[in-house]
A = this chain, B = another copy of it.
Amino acid sequence: MAQSDTVTRILDTAEVLFAERGFAETSLRNITSKARVNLAAVNYHFGSKKALIQAVFARYLDPFSQRFHTALDELEARYAGGVIPLEVLLETMASTVLAVPAERNSLKVFMRLLGLAYSQAQGHLRRYIQQQYGDVFTRFTELVRQATPHLPDAERFWRLHFMLGTVIFTLSGLDALRDIAAKDYNEQVTVKDLVRRLRPVVVAAMHAPLPLLQEEGHYANAHAS
């Protein structure tokens, strides 16, 4: 209750400001004034701006990774000992992501934050996320490995990141893209629609034939950087 309504007001305000403007571009005075809370409250309750940023992420990622873990538990039980098909794994991940708004209210904010975590400098964030939630991701990729034994490890690694890029890029830039799409194809897309569109694309990408190796001289004027 009153047990620091301030804390949640700060978090609620911070997450949407961060999502729409980035971390460096959002000042504490920005947050606190919009949340109608004293400026010092952030440092009092969280210690620093960095800690506030991490708290914003934790509020999304804690329940998410927990849900994901139990979802994977169920899968492993269902396919006891056997291999879980790739489609099922992807489907599970998708539905876990889509379940986020059940407790927090904006999937859009969640995806945007993830996008920022990658693109923004903020080295401390990537480190924090990695060491805090890295194990779920590791567990997931291990299951993907078993589901795609034909893929060389390196190839699978890259393809997973390709798909991560697709999802995060699309869903985190959703607003801008949605505007264009609505204007050109007058169609009002929801996140759920997008996930529906993503499914066959991701599956096809993971099943794509292996790249031909080293067609030398294929690209004129190509220099490594």
- Of the listed residues A22, A153, A195, the one surrounded by the most CB atoms of chain B closer than 10 A to its CB is A22
A225 touching B25 by the CB < 8 A rule? no
Query: Which residues of chain B come closer than 8 Å to A222, judged between CB atoms?
Result: 95, 98-99, 192
Question: Main secondary structure on chain A at its contact with chain B?
Answer: helix
Chain A, 201-212, contact with B by CB distance < 8 Å: what is the 0/1 string? 101110111111
- Of the listed residues A101, A102, A165, the one surrounded by the most CB atoms of chain B closer than 10 A to its CB is A165
A185 touching B207 by the CB < 8 A rule? no
A211 shortest CB reach to chain B, Å: 5
Q: Is A106 an interface residue (CB 8 A)?
A: yes
Q: If A119-B172, A224-B192 touch, does A197 touch B105 (CB 8 Å cutoff)?
A: no
Stretch at the interface among A28-36, A45-53, A154-162: A154-162
A201 touching B194 by the CB < 8 A rule? no
Residue of B nearest to A194 (CB): B158
Q: Is A78 an interface residue (CB 8 A)?
A: no
Q: Is A77 an interface residue (CB 8 A)?
A: no
The interface on chain A, measured as residues whose beta carbon lies within 8 A of the other chain's beta carbons, has a size of: 78
Residue of B nearest to A155 (CB): B197
Residue of B nearest to A105 (CB): B225
Query: Which residues of chain B come closer than 8 Å to A191, judged between CB atoms?
Result: 224-225
Q: Is A41 an interface residue (CB 8 A)?
A: no
Q: Is A83 an interface residue (CB 8 A)?
A: no
Q: Is A184 an interface residue (CB 8 A)?
A: yes
Q: Across chains A and B, which 3 residue pairs bring their CB atoms closest together, nearest first?
A: A165-B169, A204-B208, A119-B119
Of the A-B pairs whose beta carbons lie under 8 Å apart in the complex, a sample of 21, sorted by A's number, is A22-B24, A24-B25, A95-B220, A99-B221, A105-B225, A106-B225, A115-B119, A153-B184, A154-B187, A161-B169, A163-B166, A164-B169, A165-B165, A165-B170, A191-B224, A192-B222, A196-B211, A196-B212, A197-B211, A201-B205, A204-B204
